[in-house]
Amino acid sequence: MSPQFDATNRIRTVELLEVKTENCAVKTLAFNDELCGKAEPGQFVMVWIPGVDEIPISLSGISSDGNTSITVHAVGDASSALNQKQKGEIIGVRGPFGNGFVTSEGNVMVVGGGTGIGPLMPLTEKLAEIADKVTVMSGVKSQENLLFLDRVDKICSGVNSETVYTTEDGSYELAGLITDQAEQKLMTEKFDMIYTCGPEPMMYKMFLLAEQYNVPLQASLERIMRCSIGLCGSCQIGKLLVCKDGPVLNSEQLRSVKEEFGKFRLDFTGKKIKQP
C-alpha cells in the first residue's frame, strides 16, 4: 500500500473556517486541507462527526491552496449533527476518494437536482475555462430550496453560457421539472457532454435522454459507504462499486447497471430496496 494512499485514507482533523447557511436545510462548511486541495471535481471525502458517525460527501468547493468546502443537507442524524457545527469546531476527513468528472470541451450541459448542484460547482468552474458553451440547469422543489445562484452567475459571467432554473411549485422562474427543460434543450441544440448530479430517478431520466439524443453523459451517484475503498460492498450497484468505480459513472458504465440505476439501492443491512 502506497504512502500516498495511507495519507489519503488517514483521518485528518480540520477546523471549520466558515459555516454558511445556504437555505432552510442546507449549509456549506469550509475548511483547509492540503489533500482535498488536489481533488478532482466529483470526488468525495468521508466526513467524521465526532461521537456520531462518518458519512460520504462530495466536495462543493476545491482550491489549490487547500481551501475546501462541503455542502450538507440535513436529512439524517449524521448530516443534521454536521449542520449544527459552528465555525471553529473540529471535524475529521478522509480522502479524497473515487473517480471524478472528466472535463469536456465543446457545448456542455450541467444538470443539478436539489443539492446535487453542489458537487457540480467545481466542475462548472473548470468547464467555464475550456468549454465553448456551458448551460447550467438547476431544479428544486421551491424557491426556498435554490442553491448557489450568485456563484453560478459569477462562474458564467464573461463566458458563453446559459442558466435555466425550475421549481416544481413555480415559485421561481420556470415551473416543472428540470428534466423537461433539459429535453427541450436537447431537441433543439447539439451537446457534446452532459453532466448530472441529484436524485437518482432524475439522473436516470437524464441518462435516458442522453441515450435518446446520442450525447455522452457523466452522473455522480450517491450510495451508503462505509469503507470508501471498495472493500465492504455497501455501495454496490450491479457489478460496480460507487466508492471505487465512481462516484462519477459514464454512459458505458451506466448501461451496465441500468437494471438497478434509478430503481434500487442497498440499505444499511445490505438489502436491496427501491429508490425513493
- pLDDT tens digits for range 74-95: 888 999 999 999 999 999 999 9
In this prediction, residue 272 has a pLDDT band, given cuts at 50, 70 and 90, of confident
**CATH 2.40.30.10 spans which residues of the chain?**
3-97
In this prediction, residue 5 has a pLDDT band, given cuts at 50, 70 and 90, of low
Direct distance between the N- and C-terminal alpha carbons of the chain, in angstroms, rounded to an integer: 38
Q: Give the span between the Cα atoms of 116 and 78, in whole angstroms.
A: 18
Q: Running DSSP on this structure, what letter comes out for residue 99?
A: B
Q: Is the pLDDT of residue 6 over 80?
A: no
Helices (H), 131-276: 149-156, 178-188, 200-212, 242-245, 251-256
Give me the pLDDT at residue 229, please: 81
The model's pLDDT over 126-145, given as tens digits with 9 standing for 90+, comes to: 999 999 999 999 999 999 99
Q: Do 95 and 244 contact (CB within 8 A), yes or no?
A: no
User: Three-state SS for 71?
Assistant: strand
In this prediction, residue 8 has a pLDDT band, given cuts at 50, 70 and 90, of confident
- CATH fourth-level superfamily of 3-97: Translation factors (2.40.30.10)
Q: Give the span between the Cα atoms of 272 and 131, in whole angstroms.
A: 39
Give me the pLDDT at residue 264, please: 66
Candidates 3.40.50.80, 3.20.20.70, 2.70.210.12, 3.40.30.10; CATH matching 107-274: 3.40.50.80
Instruction: Kindly state the percentage of the chain with pLDDT values over 90.
Output: 80
**CATH 3.40.50.80 spans which residues of the chain?**
107-274
